[in-house]
Structure 1
Amino acid sequence: MTATAELRDITVAVVREKEQPFTIEKARIRGPQDDEVLVRVVATGLCHTDLIVRDQYYPVPLPAVLGHEGAGIVEALGPGVKDLKVGDHVVLTYGACGHCNPCSGGHGAYCKDFFGLNFGGGALDGSTAIQDPDGHPLHDHFFAQSSFATYALSRENNAIKVPDDAPIELLGPLGCGIQTGAGAVINSLKVTAGSSFASFGAGAVGLSAVMAARVAGATTIIAIDVVPSRLELAKELGATHVINSREVDVVEAVRAITGGGANFALESTGRPEVLAQGIEALGGLGVIGVVGAPKLGTKAEFDVNNLLLGGRSIRGIVEGDSVPKVFIPQLVQLYQQGRFPFDKLVKFYPLDQINQAAEDSTRGVTLKPILTIGG
């Protein structure tokens, strides 16, 4: 099936104003062009990044259709699609051009056009694919998908084929939040067997990192958070120690557990004071990855000599340094083997309860909301 100019009626969740609730609206989407695929969205994760864009931490133009952890079934193909077929089950992930130097080197998360492709509110030429019933454009192409919708357009290179026997309604978060935490551990930090790892934050990203650290063979795995239920779950998922940072000095506790400081750490809260703690909690030659996203322009402070004299490192990480076509199927396989039980993080909500899902996520009641959209 190839693209036509015909517009398809869809239902979308729209952000129209800064810090205002999502609204469920009718809209229309064009058919796929070039190397695009049209995906019938079965479910999509709700990620912290959706909420900070709703609140305009990042300047995505409004009104916009967000959503960037979509999973569904390919329904139509553009004429340039080479490998995907109608009926394929896919997880939608971040957009990358595929041909710049970082992309060519296997580092699509650092694509030279990453911000434009994922946060620009349209294609790089400014065009959009979605319009309201009156023909007014809605900003889209969010993470090259805008999957808070019954149908989403993606490019072939960010629609990742997954096995038909995997639960497609569960897999969307592998496209961003889960691959960010797991990839940070496996791809970026390269956590080693027998090492110590500390996760500063036990949300969906932090707990994905905990599970990945267990897969990688770390023998001391510390989860740090302020929510007791998250810490209990962390123990179930592989943490050997948990720390409630409201109750003890985190740096002292990590140093005591590890015998001087962690070999590896991950900061997923986006809070600069937590990053500072993470740096202080590293052992000699330790490295901390940073995945938490605060407002643009946020500054952090740390003791330069502590970094220098201990040979410590700070590493910024986007999307877990993932090559999605390789890494997402690997995570699916680990899940199917029972070694990466990320289903314990999720709670399902229908699309029309997106604002409740957002509130529950912000309050910490739900770690990873998934919005069910179609069967």
Structure 2
Amino acid sequence: MNVKAAVVDAVGEPLRIRELVLDEPRANEVQVRMAATGVCHTDAVLRDGWIPTTMPIVLGHEGAGIVERVGSAVTHLQPGDHVVLSVNSCGTCRSCLSGHPAYCLEIYAHNFAGGRPDGSSAFTDSDGSRVGSHFFGQSSFAEVVNASVRSVVKIPEDFPLELAGPLGCGIQTGAGSVINVLRPAPGGSFVVFGAGAVGLSALLAAVAGRVGTIIAVDVVDSRLELATELGATHVVNGAREDAVARIQEITGGGVQTALDTTGNARVFRQMIDALAVAGHAGALGASAAGSEGVIDLPTALSRGIRVTWIVEGDAVPQLFIPELIAMYRAGHFPFDRLVKTYPFTDIDTAFADSESGDVLKPVVVF
């Protein structure tokens, strides 16, 4: 099958849309015609070489579409099903079997290596040369993909597919970090550093959980204004205020739960310093090599704080994504406020708007 796809040919190069050949789905794969795909920071991280992979490659890992074919080993999905594509995993390691597929022991091979675990790729160029596939088990910057079955999440047919895609990674990551990992108490306190799509998804989860004091820290006033509209009780502009001092003032001595979505070492240190005694912090922002932060270890020990590094919100996508959809439909999780759609042909503009901060969650529509 010939399909149009956005290809990265080498590290740091822009995405170029061209026609590729898609192979037949394997026994454990699902062929999906894409309706929409979110643009995520992790796509840019791979494009720019922060995480090594095989190039050229088709990226995209927040896909949503309709099943066209299923492999011979797939029994719970059928053509016509509406699906979201999420993180891939092996399904058989200790992490997968204990309900933590985001920490799969074979996570690189199944998500970042640029092909199937056996080394094959679903895509070839017009001259027969290999083009990498199966980024997050899907490579959804293509009209049709052969996705690993463990990446596929069935959703209600009446849910808008242009909204569904970001649930596969960014929205799931932010919300899951709060709901599955940090679990701030109703009436308790929570701060998120970084009011982008992931940070505001975390904020929405805290609002849904009836957390009493919800603080957003960013350096862009428009994002802080939106955070207030979405339910933040306080906002702090870190470029104009001492974020640690302000958080301690708001909370009366320190915040109980905190999340850093920026990957910035200085911000990470601020988060640690803003914690209350026995506070719990989460970190999930991707960082370039050499971004190591510094923690005052003796002081941290005496305060009894916890720090958890979080991948994909520590979620089981097949369970958690339907939960987020139910929350949205009940009016408790309005993540649609973060989304802006673009035609697939404008994918470079979507990337640029995401990186400039002008748009929180771009979604390209096929």
Pick the TM interval, shorter chain: over 0.9
Pairing partner for 1:164 from 154, 157, 161: 157
Pairing partner for 2:251 from 258, 273, 280: 258
1:243-297 CA distance string (max 9 Å, x none): 0001110000000001111100000011111101000000011011011011245
Cα distance, 1:155 vs. partner?
1.9
2:63 corresponding residue in structure 1: 70
Cα distance, 1:238 vs. partner?
1.3
Pairing partner for 1:105 from 95, 98, 103: 98
Aligned pair count?
Answer: 366
1:209 corresponding residue in structure 2: 202
Cα distance, 1:298 vs. partner?
3.1
CA distance in 2, matches of 1:297, 1:69: 28
1:308 corresponding residue in structure 2: 301
2:359 aligned with 1:372, yes or no? no
2:30 aligned with 1:37, yes or no? yes
2:140 corresponding residue in structure 1: 147
SS in 2 for 1:86: coil
CA distance in 2, matches of 1:258, 1:306: 20
Pairing partner for 2:234 from 241, 244, 263: 241
SS in 2 for 1:213: helix
2:281 aligned with 1:292, yes or no? no
SS in 1 for 2:173: helix
Question: How big is the alpha-carbon RMSD for the aligned residues of Structure 1 and Structure 2?
Answer: 0.8
Pairing partner for 1:227 from 220, 225, 229: 220
1:3 corresponding residue in structure 2: none
2:211 aligned with 1:218, yes or no? yes
- TM-score, length-scaled by structure 2: 0.99
Cα distance, 1:199 vs. partner?
0.3
2:351 corresponding residue in structure 1: 358
CA distance in 1, matches of 2:146, 2:310: 26
1:91 corresponding residue in structure 2: 84
SS in 1 for 2:166: helix
Letter paired with 2:29:
E
1:225-256 CA distance string (max 9 Å, x none): 01111001101111110000011100000000
Letter paired with 1:145:
Q
Cα distance, 1:305 vs. partner?
2.0
1:197 corresponding residue in structure 2: 190
CA distance in 2, matches of 1:192, 1:175: 26
**Do the aligned residues in 1 keep the contact of 2:162 with 2:341 (CA within 8 Å)?**
no
Letter paired with 2:360:
L
CA distance in 1, matches of 2:181, 2:2: 41
1:14-41 CA distance string (max 9 Å, x none): 1112211110110011121111100000
2:271 corresponding residue in structure 1: 278
The alignment-based identity, stated in percent, is 49
Spell out the pairing of 1:109-148 with structure 2 (5 A cutoff).
109-148=102-141
**Do the aligned residues in 1 keep the contact of 2:3 with 2:19 (CA within 8 Å)?**
yes
**Do the aligned residues in 1 keep the contact of 2:264 with 2:291 (CA within 8 Å)?**
no
**Do the aligned residues in 1 keep the contact of 2:113 with 2:135 (CA within 8 Å)?**
yes
Letter paired with 1:148:
F
1:49 corresponding residue in structure 2: 42
For structure 2, list consecutive stretches of 5 or more residues without a partner in the other structure. Answer: none
2:322 corresponding residue in structure 1: 329
**Do the aligned residues in 2 keep the contact of 1:84 with 1:156 (CA within 8 Å)?**
no
Cα distance, 1:157 vs. partner?
2.0
